[in-house]
Structure 1
């Protein structure tokens, strides 16, 4: 008899961008799978990945960062088309195979999808440049199923200052939320849209911590103490997330894991476990999950796609996590924090 896989629910992937860039927005690419994808349905089923937050990311296109790593702002008119294309792609995947893929708007939806052996997808936006100052687009996107939103990617916009990618620096770079950004956070709280802190700079993080009445969530971030990347979280930030009954999703990106910050695929899975254990010790095991960043960054060779997630589970067992702790980190904690955030 085949061994039962530990179920995994993941806090961040960029497969929609991958399909947009390589497969011309073809929804069958996700259902049937393709070689260069780190996450598609066949690989998910093989690895026990039952669902996750699927990011809609408007790319910077030809915009280049300055000498400090700061990107120019992406304008509303340039962000709208890719955002809407990828949102439609998510729905097209569901229409193509509704018995195997479901866009989930509630924690109950997620639980029902898991029971029905459907991939439980949550519509997430990473970089809210397709939303204007009056926030009219936010209400429409919510009706379209949006339930999680990162106000910024690592570039400034009308809502705040996305932290530049910078090794050897904390995230204390640039100003905090704008007045429009504060308005966005309040409206997300009102609607029950999770606000993702993973690309927020430090001042913006603390603005949201002060303003928001929802759990603080960083969907794909690691511990600054172990890897001095600007995108990683300080101990003080980690403690604030734990106090809010929020969650940190562990990012598999090697440059966010390694002490030297290098983009080196020959990074052992133990490095992921080190971040996991460090953050668990600060926030508690109930507030840590997975935030792979599949198809969005460079991940270790051993974990070359989501079919290999059982290797990570085996490494967790080897490192002393018990079965209950593993189930919490790999899936249950994400479902619980979404339940709390969405007001169920």
Structure 2
């Protein structure tokens, strides 16, 4: 800073009054570039207390939609793995009447040991990184590992009118006042037994032009049920794009701004293709596994559907799913592409 200040003084003396006429813009640009370079070189700052609290791995997944008023909104899935943090504390404070085997079989460990609470939070920030909104919810969790299901899952729905800054966090608590804590001599609450957080940026919102065909983000999963689950959709959502072998793929899609014909109906075609991907990541476009065109009719200018795609015969491997929507009335089209993996 001292070197830059001295440099600035020399330039002001050299330029005299002309500096105020904008001739020193190059100095400002040079200073900004130096700051940017130093910011990129700065090491990640780690709290000295971070290692004292077990970390909870986190994943966040976002899907963009439009509501009935053409207002964009975002559905955020928070997945966490509190197993390690729980086991460390459970070993330290293990009740005599709770066998570990019963916990391994449970999908809601916190029901068997209610002193443990896992909380997921979603925070939104403005351009100055000041908190605009906070949402929190308790999440049931399991400790038995499952490559297809997360240890804990929470779904939040929120307005989506800009590409804002967000963070998600997970905190495991033991609210038993007589329990022993690992967080001694730290600023964390005594009840804290595990922490995790991720900072990220939202995607661009969907365009809400009523004259243009629009398609929400595709949501993949399996195990379609008749009634919606507690997690937004009536099937197991595969946020990690992983489908068990011999399961039927479920595709959730939402189409907006369809042209309504004089008879009061809208019609569109959906064509999907499933293409294999080789070990190098190349999509084999000449080896289509499935291709099918379906016709849909709606009494509105929009349609929401959970479509089952017969994929039980797919061999384990990586695939690309291509979806095209065509409005029959005005020939407008929309395309979405995603990948999924079939695992044994």
| Structure with the higher strand share, 1 or 2 | 2
Q: Considering only CA atoms, is the larger Rg found in Structure 1 or Structure 2? A: 2
Which TM class, normalised by the smaller chain length? under 0.3
**Which one has a larger percent helix, Structure 1 or Structure 2?**
1
Q: Which has the higher contact order (CA 8 A, sep 6+)?
A: 1
**What TM-score do you get using the length of structure 2 for normalisation?**
0.23
